[in-house]
């Protein structure tokens, strides 16, 4: 009997009313996050990854947005809660890490002040206690000389160090769930690896579940237990990391994996997905990926549903035999 999930998202839909008509940013996203599990959400930019996370937490402040579906956090429906009801959850039970650490911190306060602010919002700590805890946190995320650095301003830190501060802040209240929105995209390659290592290490000690949003299959391979591949606001493929990476089923995932240069690959050439991501303003009736798909069939004008076996689902009309044929041809 698996433990009850920390987060359960069912049929999440996010629509923006624009002058050009409704813009469906997220269209029917469903997934679960078990305790201590790391779920990766992967897709190109504009595929609705970040918007889905922000809308879950009520961070989408657009007056023209409509959010439907259900988001259960620890068995409690949190979609549609008021700001007041969400505040203890945000930062207290769900921590967030953002893409650009350069702009994510308020420039006019010291990092210590900002961590203490969060601690004091969600706990009953005194100022002194919160400050001690903040120093502890900074040292846990690997900031040297935290006792001195705590009184520095964000602009006095490098990008990687700042991201560590953001992580320390997100973890400060021992959240059950950590949402990381492209945490390494804005960093250089060596720093990326360090930050990922740090997140893996901290996940162990804090026992949090993590939802990590990325466009980089390498990050998924490094961290995730389960993967949701998104395209044009819809899930294209969902499954355990090992299955999705070793045995991808959706042509879009093939493209994404091909876009990752791998040492053992026989392909010298860096494969790319032809065409541009579809505009969220005119997503086709049928399969959203059809226009860019090499294996497009007549039936693709109808929308495929997620289906499959053993927890590994995909939304594609290709039959198992066709897929086997295509992949054999490709590797020969």
Partner 1 sequence: MLSFTLRRVLSAVLVLLAISVAVFLIFFATPGVDPAARIAGRSASPATLEHVRAAFGLDRPIFIRYWLMMDHLFIKRDLTSYVNVGLKVVPQVLKAAPVTLALVSGAAVIWLVTGIFGGIVAAANRGKFIDPLVMFVGIAAVSVPAYWLGEVVNLITQSRLHSSLFAWVPSAGYIPFTQNPWQWALHLLFPWLTLAALYAGIYARVLRAELVNAMNEDYVRTARAKGLSERRILIKHALRCSLVSIVSLFGLDFGALIGGAALLTEVVFGLQGVGMLTYTSLQNLDLPVIMACVMYGSFFVVLANAVVDILYAFLDPRVRVA
What does the binding site for partner 1 look like in residue numbers (CB under 8 A)?
A: 54, 57, 59, 63, 83-84, 86-92, 95-96, 98, 100, 103-109, 117-118, 121-122, 153, 155-156, 166, 169-170
Shortest Å, Cβ 155 to partner 1: 5
290: Cβ contacts below 8 Å, ≥ 6 apart: 284, 296, 300, 301
For partner 1, the closer CB: 170 or 244: 170
Least distance in Å: CB of 289 to partner 1? Answer: 30
Output 184 or 253, the one with its CB closest to partner 1.
184
DSSP β-ladder status, 307-309 and 312-314 = antiparallel
CB of 212 to partner 1, least distance (A): 15
> Residue 59 or 297: which CB sits closer to partner 1?
59
List of residues 6+ apart from 8 with CB closer than 8 A: 32, 33, 70, 71, 72
Cβ 151 to partner 1 shortest distance, Å: 11
Question: Which C-beta is closer to partner 1: that of 15 or that of 172?
Answer: 172
Report the distance separating Cα 235 and Cα 39, nearest Å.
14
Alpha carbon distance, N-terminus to C-terminus of the chain: 42
In angstroms, rounded to a whole number, what is the distance separating the alpha carbons of residues 220 and 138? Answer: 26
CA distance 255 to 272: 6
32 closest CA partner among 197, 181, 177, 220: 177
Residue with smaller CB distance to partner 1, 58 or 146: 58
Q: Least separation, in Å, of the C-beta of 279 and partner 1?
A: 23
Shortest Å distance, C-beta 119 to partner 1: 10
In the bound state with partner 1, the residue whose beta carbon lies nearer, of 152 and 215, is: 152
Query: How near is the Cβ of 150 to partner 1 at its closest, in Å?
Result: 14
> How buried is residue 310: exposed, middle or buried, by Cβ count under 10 Å (0-12/13-18/19+)?
exposed
Cα distances (Å, whole numbers) of residue 140 to 63, 146, 179, 206, 313: 39, 9, 19, 11, 38
Residues 221 and 129: their CA atoms lie apart, in Å, by 38
Q: Is 123 helix (H, G, I), strand (E, B) or coil?
A: coil
Three-class DSSP category at 70: strand
Task: Name the minimum Å distance from CB 134 to partner 1.
Answer: 13
Of 30 and 185, which CB lies nearer to partner 1 in the complex structure?
185
Closest to partner 1 by CB, 83 vs 264, is: 83
Yes or no: say if 74 and 5 are a contact pair by the CB < 8 Å rule. Answer: no
């Amino acid at each position: 009997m698996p433990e009850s999930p920390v987060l359960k998202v069912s049929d999440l839909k996010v629509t923006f009313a624009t002058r050009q008509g409704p813009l469906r940013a997220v269209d029917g996203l469903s997934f679960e996050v078990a305790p201590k599990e790391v779920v990766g959400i992967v897709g190109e930019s504009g595929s609705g990854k970040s918007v889905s996370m922000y809308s879950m937490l009520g961070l989408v402040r657009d007056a023209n947005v409509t959010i439907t579906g259900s988001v259960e956090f620890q068995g409690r429906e949190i979609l549609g809660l008021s700001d007041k009801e969400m505040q203890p959850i945000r930062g207290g039970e769900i921590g967030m890490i953002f893409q650009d650490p350069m702009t994510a911190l308020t420039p006019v306060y010291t990092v210590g002040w900002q961590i203490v602010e969060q601690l004091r919002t969600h706990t009953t700590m005194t100022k002194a206690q919160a400050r001690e805890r903040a120093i502890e946190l900074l040292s846990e995320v690997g900031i040297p000389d935290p006792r001195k650095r705590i009184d520095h301003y964000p602009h006095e830190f490098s990008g990687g160090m700042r991201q560590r501060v953001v992580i320390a802040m997100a973890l400060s209240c021992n959240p059950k769930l950590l949402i990381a929105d492209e945490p390494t995209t804005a960093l250089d390659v060596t720093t990326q690896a360090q930050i990922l290592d740090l997140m893996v290490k901290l996940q162990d000690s804090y026992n949090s579940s993590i939802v990590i949003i990325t466009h980089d299959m390498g990050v998924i391979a490094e961290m995730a237990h389960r993967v949701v591949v998104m395209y044009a606001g819809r899930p294209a493929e969902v499954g355990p990391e090992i299955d999705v990476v070793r045995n991808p089923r959706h042509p879009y995932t093939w493209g994404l994996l091909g876009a990752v240069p791998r040492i053992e690959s026989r392909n010298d050439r860096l494969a790319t997905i032809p065409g541009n991501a579809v505009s969220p303003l005119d997503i086709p009736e049928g399969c959203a990926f059809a226009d860019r798909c090499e294996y497009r069939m007549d039936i693709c004008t109808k929308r495929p549903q997620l289906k499959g076996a053993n927890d590994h689902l995909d939304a594609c009309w290709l039959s198992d035999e066709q897929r086997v044929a295509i992949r054999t041809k490709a590797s020969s």
